[in-house]
Amino acid sequence: MRSSSLVLSVIFLISLISPVLVAQNQNPYIQPIQIHGFKNVGTLPKGQTVVFTVYVPLKNLNLLYYYAQAVSNPSSPLYHHFLSKEQIAKLFYPTKEFNQVLSYLKENGFKVLFTSADSVIVAQGTVGQIEDALGVNYAL
């Protein structure tokens, strides 16, 4: 039971991570935001290696938030009725979408360094690869 609550807590925390979404050159170039006190000095070289994170949003977030509160509330009939790892995966993991993104990254030559909860992918590639495959521009 304790491991189930830990898994649910981890899933909740992962859902709060700021997502980086994969797009196929759908985003036009956007001028970097100018932050007071910092100066844009240019772009990164195309051959520079970069580690980046792609977040595939979890499914059924409203249910996840509801369930997280209900299992923690002593007056709830769901109090301490934790989900199994299999139930969590079935209800909340975006497995199909995750696998599509993972395949896309591998097909485009990215090195996948780490994955978690069928939702987070940490990968590595060059600035040129990222710009071509994901439509993202890097600035210094």
Which pLDDT score, from 0 to 100, does residue 140 have? 76
pTM flag (> 0.75): no
- Per-position DSSP letters for 37-77, written without gaps between them: T-----B--TT-EEEEEEE-PPS-HHHHHHHHHHTT-TTST
Does any domain span residue 139? no
Does any domain span residue 24? yes
Does any domain span residue 140? no
Structural domain count of the chain: 1
Residue 117's contacts (CB-CB under 8 Å, 6 or more residues apart) are: 10, 11, 14, 58, 93
Domain that holds residue 12: 2-134
Does any domain span residue 123? yes
Pick 17 or 120 by higher pLDDT. 120
Does any domain span residue 81? yes
Say if residues 31 and 110 touch (Cβ distance below 8 Å): no
At 14, the pLDDT band (50, 70, 90 cuts) reads very low
Does any domain span residue 83? yes
Render pLDDT for 86-122 as a digit per residue (tens, 0 to 9): 999 999 999 999 999 999 999 999 999 999 988 999 9
